[in-house]
A and B are shown apart, each in its own frame.
Chain A
Amino acid sequence: MESKTTIINYTHSQAGHCESGATSNLFKFNGLDISEPMAFGLGNGLYFSYIPFLKVQYAPMMSFRNLPNTVFKRSTTYLGIDHTVVKKIKDPGQAMDALDRNLENGLPTGLQVGVFQLTFFPPEYRMHYNMHNLVVFGKEGNNYHVSDTVMELPQVISYDDLVRVRYAKGPFAPEGKMYWIHGKVAQEIDLKPAIAIAIKKTVKEMIGIPFPLIGVKGIRWMARDMKKWPKKHGNEKASFYLGQVLRMAEDFGTGGAGFRFIYGSFLKEAGEIYNHDGILEAADLMGKTANKWREFTYAGARNCKNRAKPTEDYGHLGDMMLEIAASEEMVFRKLEKIKL
């Protein structure tokens, strides 16, 4: 293989959430100063769904974020920025060639990858999770330079390893998905219209979908289920299920409290841009809700530490969750009324 060196002058910065971090870094590279929370909020990152009949890693599936690639796709679309998303490339060789071409053209390219075989990733997070995102910004011989927002510094990964993670199998398989922005963006982009659409859409997704497992209703459903867990499955399993809720909310690349802190800071930034008291109030409420999520984590973690004998009552934890749902609903009802 020819050894050609192309390294794009790309600034890596660490972020709480992989995809919005990658999106924000790509925006910054193209001359548009958008912070991570802003990218997350504009891309409708916030979501909740609970799917008790699907088991992932021996516990019910739930998600605190939208489907992979939503953040990049929606934020660029709402801002009217020229971008490309290639959903699926069948042949790995072709996918890597396309990546090389992009790098030669000076376009840092975002990829969806699976985490399990990602060589530089912290070992304790290497589970089967296919919705991770990173940006490739350089090639040196057989190695690629990669900016992964979970890590402190840019990393290096070999050709074969990159092929393996890009074609990880399983649910939500990446299948070589890649995305990039076409060149520099005009400096004067007005964020206001995009913010208005984004907030409206998130409100709709959290309280407007008439299906009981999605949005605030989903949180309520999970809370009611949680109260039944110890009786239905026994203490060990109930504590593992509870642990899964907390792991999804706290550990896996969320920046804490199931993205609620990030969304709160988005609302705060949006309120400052609009100079709107209603949004700022909503941001304050969102922050308080996020703090409640953290309290829930501390209470739940005590149960996970002492697995056979729960120290906290599951009824109490369920009530805490219902309280969180109520307070989240209040935020979205408030946002719903605001006319932007």
Chain B
Amino acid sequence: MEESQNPVYKNKDYGKYREMLYSSYTGGKFEKAVGFHGEADRVILEQAWDLFKERIEDARQRVLAGKASPVVFYMEKNLLDPLGLSMVAGISLLRVKWHFRPNAFKRLSNNTLGKYAKAFNISIEQLKKVE
């Protein structure tokens, strides 16, 4: 078997969390093993995280350049989209999108800031700045 087509890695170097995986159907038996995901599964998971990291970095640059409010950065950091954020924070979608502008964000009341802070699981002081 090719190394890239091995469904289950048993070597401990591949991660911390071992999972139970059903690997193949050979000789009339369903093989299962405890181990780590194989190469192919890793590649596709990495792809998703690469996109998320790219989006977070992009949002950070836009916030630092003053083109977007910190809400955008924390939204991307929590892997949310505007609709998801509006559901989590309990603020209507149109208002959430309005708060993406730095000027609108500056005028927010403590109450609304608190809602965002609770949604992102951080304090209001943290919400106001982006490291």
Contact = CB atoms under 8 A, between A and B. Distances in A.
B65 interface: no
Contact of A16 (B4, B32, B37, B80): B32
A124 interface: yes
A268 interface: yes
Q: Is the interface of B mostly helix, strand, loop or mixed?
A: mixed
Given A291-B24, A297-B40, A152 B18 contact: yes
Nearest to A297: B40
A58 B52 CA distance: 10
A78 interface: no
Contact of B22 (A239, A256, A284): A256
Interface stretch (B42-50, B56-64, B99-107): B42-50
A81 B24 CA distance: 33
B93 interface: no
Contacts of A291: 24-25
A149 B81 CA distance: 29
A255 B48 contact: no
A227 B58 CA distance: 30
B20 A240 contact: no
A151 B16 CA distance: 10
Contacts of A169: 84, 87-88
A305 to B, nearest CB: 5
B88 A16 contact: no
A297 B24 CA distance: 13
A49 interface: no
A30 interface: no
A28 interface: no
Contacts of A122: 15-17
B130 interface: no
Contacts of B15: 122
B7 A294 contact: yes
Contact of B5 (A247, A298, A304): A298
Nearest to A306: B43
A127 B79 contact: yes
23 contacts: A14-B19, A16-B19, A57-B79, A116-B79, A128-B80, A149-B20, A150-B17, A150-B19, A152-B18, A164-B121, A170-B88, A239-B47, A243-B47, A243-B48, A246-B44, A250-B41, A255-B20, A256-B7, A261-B32, A288-B25, A290-B22, A297-B40, A301-B41
Interface of A: 14-16, 37, 57-58, 116-117, 122, 124, 127-128, 149-152, 164, 169-170, 239-240, 243-244, 246-247, 250-251, 255-257, 261-262, 264-265, 268, 284, 287-288, 290-291, 294, 297-298, 300-301, 304-305, 307
Given A247-B48, A294-B7, 8 more contacts: A57-B48, A150-B17, A169-B88, A240-B51, A246-B40, A264-B25, A304-B43, A304-B47
